[in-house]
Amino acid sequence: MQKCCLITGASSGLGRALALQYAAAGWQVLAIARSGERLQQLSQQSPWIRCLVLDLTDGAAVEASVSQIKQLMPRLDLLILNAGTCEYVDVADFELAAFDRTFAVNFFSVVAAVKYWMPLLHESTRPQLAVVSSLAWLFPFTKAQAYGASKAALSYFTDSLRLDLTGQGVEVCLIEPGFVDTPLTRKNDFAMPFILPVEQAAARMIRAIDAGKLRYRFPKRLAFSLALLNLVPYRWRQKMAAGMRSE
């Protein structure tokens, strides 16, 4: 039986690469994002890709999408909540709306998707939920107060969710990537160690989900370096973080 997955943030970057790779592997894919044009282009790449235009920050629209999803997909085996945004903020003049926008996409949209879409997984023989967070929250990066905090919240949410889903048969995979070459990182003006091409990153994520990993941090060299930095005295760690600022 053909497997089916839903991928948010599939109009660009990691989500797009995941959609193409799952479709190439014979999965039926429902690609979700706001940009209808880019989704349309994506769906032309494979007969297995369908698309749904949706603003994930609109909770009512996410709830209403359940019936559309049921029409577009025979069932759901894998839900990949990948959509995200990164806005850098200026500490001298905090724009509160930037925090609202970032948390709306990176955190609250995931909570809404879990609430409304998780029940769709229940008919699958191997129901899986994958949540795309980031390694960014492990280390204080400059101007990343909104992004890093939203991903810290998301990682906590996912680990905690997994606990309460124990016994319900749903596998929960928390994915924390390092730097990947996508439109999201192309605006960065700082060094991005161990940055990966997007196709390679997507392939690694697919292997981790398939292997049933609880948490997948990659690339290992960056994850390991950040873990080591967490072991050094706090004051030194703060100095190292300050040394990475671009100004």
Ligand X SMILES: NC(=O)c1ccc[n+]([C@@H]2O[C@H](COP(=O)([O-])OP(=O)(O)OC[C@H]3O[C@@H](n4cnc5c(N)ncnc54)[C@H](OP(=O)(O)O)[C@@H]3O)[C@@H](O)[C@H]2O)c1
In what side-by-side order are the strands of the sheet with 128-132?
49-53, 28-33, 4-8, 78-81, 128-132, 171-177, 215-218
By CB under 6 A, tell whether 80 contacts ligand X: no
Binds ligand X (CB under 6 A): choice among 21, 34, 99, 200:
34
Catalytic-residue membership of 22: no
- Indicate the Cα dihedral angle 222, 226, 231, 235, nearest 10°: 140
* Smallest separation, CB 53 to ligand X (Å): 8
Binds ligand X (CB under 6 A): choice among 3, 6, 11, 174:
11
Q: Which residues pair with residue 29 across a beta bridge? A: 5, 49
The 101-140 site mask, x for binding ligand X (CB under 6 A), equals ----x--------------------------x-x------
* Residue placing its CB nearer to ligand X in the complex, 42 or 73: 42
Say how far apart CA 180 and CA 191 lie, in whole Å.
Answer: 12
* Smallest separation, CB 114 to ligand X (Å): 15
Question: Which candidate in 3, 22, 147, 216 is catalytic?
Answer: 147
By CB under 6 A, tell whether 219 contacts ligand X: no
Catalytic-residue membership of 239: no
* Smallest separation, CB 196 to ligand X (Å): 8
Say how far apart CA 22 and CA 167 lie, in whole Å.
Answer: 27
* Smallest separation, CB 135 to ligand X (Å): 6
By CB under 6 A, tell whether 209 contacts ligand X: no
Question: Which candidate in 70, 151, 213, 220 is catalytic?
Answer: 151
Say how far apart CA 223 and CA 202 lie, in whole Å.
Answer: 17
Say how far apart CA 43 and CA 45 lie, in whole Å.
Answer: 5
Q: Alpha carbon 32 to chain centroid distance?
A: 13
Candidates 131, 113, 118; CA nearest to 62 is: 113
Which amino acid appears at position 153 of this protein? A
Which range touches ligand X (CB under 6 A), out of 53-61, 122-130, 157-165, 217-225?
Answer: 53-61
Per CB under 6 A, residues contacting ligand X are 8-15, 33-35, 38, 54-57, 82-85, 105, 132, 134, 177, 179-180, 182-185
The residues assigned a catalytic role are: 147, 151
